[in-house]
Chains A and B, each alone.
Chain A
Amino acid sequence: MNWNSWSEFFSMGGYGFYVWGSYLVSFMCIAGEIWILLNRQRTLQQYLGQRRIKYEREKE
């Protein structure tokens, strides 16, 4: 174990700003990529839902 307390963990031997600045932004990028894709899927879903209704009607 490298750390004796949480404050020691967060300070990262004085490099906390750089270490957490790297990790935080990286995880924000990953979250952003997932969010953009889910949004794209939601838009597509709405379009396909409307199209399905039309398609069912045409089949009848």
Chain B
Amino acid sequence: MSINWYKYASPASFYFLAGKMIPYFSIAAIALLIVGLYIGFFVAPTDFQQGEAYRIIFIHVPAAWMSMFLYVVMAFWAGVGLAFNTRLSSMMATAIAPTGAMFTFIALWTGAWWGKPMWGTWWVWDARLTSELILFFLYIGFMSLQAAIDDPRRADKAGAIIALVGVVNIPIIYFSVQWWNTLHQGASVSIAQSPKMATAMLAGMLVMALAAWMYSIAMILMRARTIILERERHTAWVAELKGMTR
């Protein structure tokens, strides 16, 4: 069986396909969130060093992972849109930015509220924290630049440049804890080593990360559909839609 991928590169077919997928991702997000919070608060034991304060990890780490991962995906689609002039790719990039910015903000916020009781300060200009703050500004810059340009295709191209240049920041964030002496602790989970934490803690974190994934996919598909309708509002297929615009 071969799939005609070009069919789904058309905003109209993507619109209907995405509409069918959103409910599944939304339900998965809610279910995983409930399980993740249950494990995080009721199954995972108290940390021997940090007491109960460590429970911030169940949002902090998934949010930080999503903030970086979504940026890479956003830059990828923006780059594809720039290289191949495919409208849908650029619309995907635009749809990802607000969700990525939100997760970056959550990572920074929860980091501050974890830093205060553990390090005694809300904020330090250390490599990990500063590069994550730059990531937040990159998202904001991408969104403001696109919002400032009236012609959507020109906005796509300008945004793609920021997005692609900003990718440099991602390995800096990721490796900052190894490259510099930072206050931020090193990676708790990595591919090369076995995790340095209790199984229930790890399970809670991974389930919450999956929930963040499902939430992001649902939100991005919803936003992409909205962007498609906004941009294609003068076309016949949008005019003929009946009550399917959610």
Contact = CB atoms under 8 A, between A and B. Distances in A.
A55 B109 CA distance: 48
Interface magnitude class on chain A: 20 to 34
A5 B211 CA distance: 28
A4 to B, nearest CB: 12
Interface string B226-246: 100110010000111110011
B128 interface: no
A18 B215 contact: no
A47 to B, nearest CB: 7
B58 to A, nearest CB: 9
A59 to B, nearest CB: 9
Interface in A1-60: 1-3, 9, 12-15, 18-19, 21-23, 25-26, 29-30, 32-34, 36-37, 40-41, 44-45, 47-48, 51-52, 55
Interface residues of B, number: 39
Main secondary structure of the interface of B (DSSP, over half): helix
A48 B229 contact: yes
Contact of A48 (B59, B106, B233): B233
Interface in B194-246: 215, 219, 222-223, 226, 229-230, 233, 238-242, 245-246
A33 B9 CA distance: 26
B116 A40 contact: no
A51 B194 CA distance: 58
Chain B CB count within 10 A is highest, among A1, A12, A26, A29, for A26
A47 B59 CA distance: 38
Contacts of A25: 106, 109-110, 113
A10 to B, nearest CB: 11
A27 to B, nearest CB: 9
A14 to B, nearest CB: 7
A18 B241 CA distance: 48
Interface string B81-115: 00000000000000000110010011001100110
Given A37-B219, A48-B245, A22 B60 contact: yes
9 contacts: A15-B117, A29-B105, A33-B98, A33-B219, A34-B219, A44-B226, A44-B233, A47-B233, A51-B239
Interface of A: 1-3, 9, 12-15, 18-19, 21-23, 25-26, 29-30, 32-34, 36-37, 40-41, 44-45, 47-48, 51-52, 55
10 residue pairs, one from A and one from B, having the closest CB atoms: A13-B52, A15-B53, A12-B52, A22-B110, A55-B239, A22-B113, A13-B51, A22-B56, A26-B106, A18-B113
